């Protein structure tokens, strides 16, 4: 889980390629080096049941809070659920394809599979995309912290709804900075993130609690909760596409899926197919329950962060906000670690220093990278108004991880085969082309629309 810091570790790598792999992103959910399948069975690899929960934990996250607003953008419950269901088959098949490509390439992480099958240039693009994606997610985490602390402070101080107070020490920007500097930064600097195993369990409990609260609040609503206009159909096909970034962002667990697959007691496609199917169905119920009930509770008045729509003095919702804050605080260092590891790998690969020199300077680079990453994400979060703006930008990248890179890997894996090219072979290649086409379209459309909306918002604010 850590970048090698001893010269002996680098010597053990055995080759330049093996040394490069040691620098690359490792999943925060599994061990960084996996023995062969037979050895894993003897040592007690991850069971299928445990793998399901790891996959669910990797998928559930900050996107949950934005799902009711995504249903509003899609044009109602029917459109939102239909969009989810139509994408679910591609999401599951992408996870299975990545496992197949991992077997073909004999690599154990997402970007290593892409690099081995698609070449160095595509591999570097994939690494940069991972870095940008984790960077944007860290910004979203800070925004979520600010949103929830606003309402928690209002509940504790018994302030009226929508009023946080005029004191500087309860100002939103000040509370975000204090939480970030005193808690998140110390957790982000260490070389290892072993504490994440406790954070993962807490994150799952927290997200499920939030979903249960939103469902119960819809069934037994408070008197002061009055929903706005509830659309029953989308205004246009482009309106439906506006919900895609949230769906892609919410279901994206593909980057960490390859290490999870390789950590399983039986690293085979059939049990893995069952794992990802069950995991994605669980996520579907959680997201659908949150999206439908949150949207129907507030209609078109729903906030980009659904918890912001509830009154601050609601105890059950306040507990949900506290869960979210704790989960985000513990999740930020994990995402930062992933992004930092990719940046470290890119820097070492292209800088070309001697191994001994790189090892001696590891601590200095790590601290500098962490401080720059932390400062930039914090400053951007202070001036970005809501989580929906961030998700709309990085949701397109999530589509690349779900569609484009798995599709390219599948195409390259099938083209490298020397066997007779049967009908199933051609079908797999065509399916890979379809995935790349869909992913490229989603990425282009959602990213362009997000930039356009940001430009309009900026011009209106002038």
Give the CATH number, domain containing residue 243.
1.20.1730.10
Residue 296: Cβ within 10 Å count: 17
| 261 falls within a domain | yes
Least confident of 13-17, 125-129, 336-340, 394-398: 13-17
Please give the angle made by the CA atoms of 345, 351 and 357, to the nearest 5 degrees: 90
What integer is the mean pLDDT of 275-287? 93
| Contact (Cβ atoms closer than 8 angstroms) between residue 296 and residue 64 | no
pLDDT band of residue 237 (cuts 50, 70, 90) is confident
What integer is the mean pLDDT of 203-222? 89
Q: Is the pLDDT of residue 2 over 50?
A: no
| 119 falls within a domain | yes
Q: What is the pLDDT of residue 1?
A: 29
| 335 falls within a domain | yes
Residue 265: Cβ within 10 Å count: 18
Q: What is the pLDDT of residue 242?
A: 81
| 2 falls within a domain | no
pLDDT band of residue 459 (cuts 50, 70, 90) is low
Which of 148-162, 260-274, 411-425 is most confident?
260-274
Q: What is the pLDDT of residue 167?
A: 67
Please tell me the total count of domains within the chain.
1
What integer is the mean pLDDT of 99-120? 93
Q: What is the pLDDT of residue 202?
A: 74
Q: What is the pLDDT of residue 169?
A: 67
Token pair belonging to 82: 């239909």
Q: What is the pLDDT of residue 251?
A: 93
Q: Is the pLDDT of residue 37 over 50?
A: no
Q: Is the pLDDT of residue 398 over 90?
A: yes
**Residue in the block written with tokens 């930064």:** 185
Q: Is the pLDDT of residue 115 over 60?
A: yes
SS (H, E, C) the chain: CCCCCCHHHHHCCCCHHHHHHHHCCCCCCCCCCCCCHHHHHHHCCECHHHHHHHHHHHHCCCHHHHHHHHHHHHCCHHHHHHHHHHHHHHHHHHHHHHHHHHHHHCCCCHHHHHHHHHCHHHHHHHHHHHHHHHHHHHHHHHHHHHHHHHHHHHHHCCCCCCCCCCCHHHCHHHHHHHHHHHHHHHHHCCCCCCCHHHHHHHHHHHHHHHHHHHHHHHHCCCCCCCCCCCCCCCCCHHHHHCCHHHHHHHHCCHHHHHHHHHHECCCCHHHHHHHHHHHHHHHHHHHHHHHHHHHHHHHHHCCCCHHHHCCCCCHHHHHHHHHHHHHHHHHHHHHHHHHHHHHHHHHHHHHCCCHHHHHHCHHHHHHHHHHHHHHHHHHHHHHCCCHHHHHHHHHHHHHHHHHHHHHHHHHHHHHCCCCCCCHHHHHHHHHHHHHHHHHHHHHHHHHHHHHHHHHHHHHHHC
Of 13, 56, 74, the residue nearest 287 (C-alpha) = 56
Least confident of 88-92, 154-158, 208-212, 335-339: 154-158
pLDDT in tens, 125-136: 999 999 999 999
Length of the chain: 462
**Which domain range does residue 66 map to?**
7-386
Q: What is the pLDDT of residue 401?
A: 95
| 417 falls within a domain | no
Q: From the CA atom positions of the chain, what is the Rg in Å?
A: 22
Q: Is the pLDDT of residue 420 over 80?
A: no
Q: What is the pLDDT of residue 43?
A: 57
Burial (CB count <10 Å: 0-12, 13-18, 19+), residue 177? middle
Q: Is the pLDDT of residue 170 over 70?
A: yes
Q: What is the pLDDT of residue 159?
A: 65
Q: What is the pLDDT of residue 343?
A: 86
pLDDT band of residue 356 (cuts 50, 70, 90) is low
| 396 falls within a domain | no
| Residue 439: partners with Cβ closer than 8 Å, 6 or more residues away | 399, 400, 402, 403, 404, 407
First to last CA, the chain: 46
Q: How far is Cα 273 from Cα 266, in angstroms, rounded to an integer? A: 12
Does residue 76 or residue 276 have the better pLDDT? 276
Share the mean pLDDT of the chain.
81
Q: Is the pLDDT of residue 71 over 80?
A: yes
Enumerate long-range contacts of 113-122, CB under 8 Å, 24 or more apart: 113/258, 113/409, 114/405, 114/408, 114/409, 117/408, 117/409, 117/412, 117/413, 117/416, 118/405, 118/408, 118/409, 118/412, 122/405, 122/408
- Residue 437 zone, left/alpha/beta (φ > 0; ψ -120 to 50; rest): alpha
Q: How far is Cα 462 from Cα 447, in angstroms, rounded to an integer? A: 23
Token pair belonging to 420: 């007779």
| 268 falls within a domain | yes
Q: What is the pLDDT of residue 293?
A: 94
pLDDT in tens, 131-161: 999 999 999 999 999 888 888 887 787 766 5
Q: What is the pLDDT of residue 421?
A: 79
Least confident of 52-56, 154-158, 309-313, 386-390: 154-158
| 254 falls within a domain | yes
What integer is the mean pLDDT of 241-250? 88
Does residue 229 or residue 402 have the better pLDDT? 402
- Share above pLDDT 90 across residues of the chain, in percent, rounded to a whole number: 41
């Amino acid at each position: 889980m850590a970048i090698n810091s001893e010269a002996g570790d680098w010597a053990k790598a055995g080759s330049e390629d093996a040394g490069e792999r040691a620098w690359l992103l490792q999943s925060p959910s599994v061990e960084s080096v996996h023995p062969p399948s037979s050895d894993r069975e003897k040592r007690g690899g991850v069971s299928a049941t445990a793998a399901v929960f790891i996959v669910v934990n990797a998928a559930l996250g900050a996107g949950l809070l934005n799902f009711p607003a995504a249903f509003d953008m899609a044009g109602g419950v029917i459109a939102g659920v239909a969009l989810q269901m139509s994408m679910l088959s591609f999401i599951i098949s992408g996870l299975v394809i990545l496992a197949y490509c991992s077997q073909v390439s004999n690599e154990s992480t997402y970007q290593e599979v892409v690099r081995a099958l698609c070449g160095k240039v595509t591999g570097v693009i994939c690494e940069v995309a991972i870095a940008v994606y984790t960077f944007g997610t860290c910004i979203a985490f800070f925004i979520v912290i600010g949103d929830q602390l606003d309402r928690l402070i209002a509940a504790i101080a018994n302030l009226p709804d929508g009023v946080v107070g005029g004191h500087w020490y309860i100002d939103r920007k000040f509370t975000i900075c204090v939480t970030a500097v005193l808690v998140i930064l110390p957790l982000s600097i260490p070389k290892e993130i072993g504490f994440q195993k406790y954070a993962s369990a807490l994150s799952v409990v927290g997200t499920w609690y939030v979903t249960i609260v939103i469902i119960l609040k819809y069934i037994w609503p408070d008197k002061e909760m009055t929903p706005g206009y509830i659309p029953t159909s989308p205004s246009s096909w482009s309106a439906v596409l506006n919900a895609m970034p949230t769906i892609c962002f919410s279901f994206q667990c593909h980057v960490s899926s390859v290490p999870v697959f390789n950590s399983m007691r039986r690293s085979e496609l059939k049990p893995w197919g069952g794992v990802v199917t069950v995991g994605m169905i669980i996520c579907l119920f959680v997201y659908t329950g949150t999206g439908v009930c949150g949207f129907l509770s507030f209609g078109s008045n729903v906030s980009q962060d659904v918890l912001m729509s509830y009154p601050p003095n609601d105890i059950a919702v306040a507990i949900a906000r506290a869960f979210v804050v704790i989960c985000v605080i513990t999740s930020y260092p994990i995402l930062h670690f992933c992004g930092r590891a990719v940046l470290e790998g890119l820097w070492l690969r292209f800088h070309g220093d001697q191994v001994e020199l790189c090892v001696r300077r590891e601590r200095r680079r790590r601290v500098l990278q962490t401080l720059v990453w932390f400062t930039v994400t914090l400053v951007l979060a202070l001036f970005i108004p809501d989580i929906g703006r961030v998700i709309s930008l990085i949701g397109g990248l999530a589509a690349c991880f779900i569609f484009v890179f798995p599709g390219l890997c599948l195409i390259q894996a099938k083209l490298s085969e020397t066997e007779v090219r049967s009908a199933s072979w051609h079908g797999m290649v065509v399916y890979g082309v379809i995935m790349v086409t869909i992913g490229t379209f989603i990425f282009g459309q959602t990213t362009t629309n997000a930039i356009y909306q940001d430009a309009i918002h900026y011009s209106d604010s002038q």
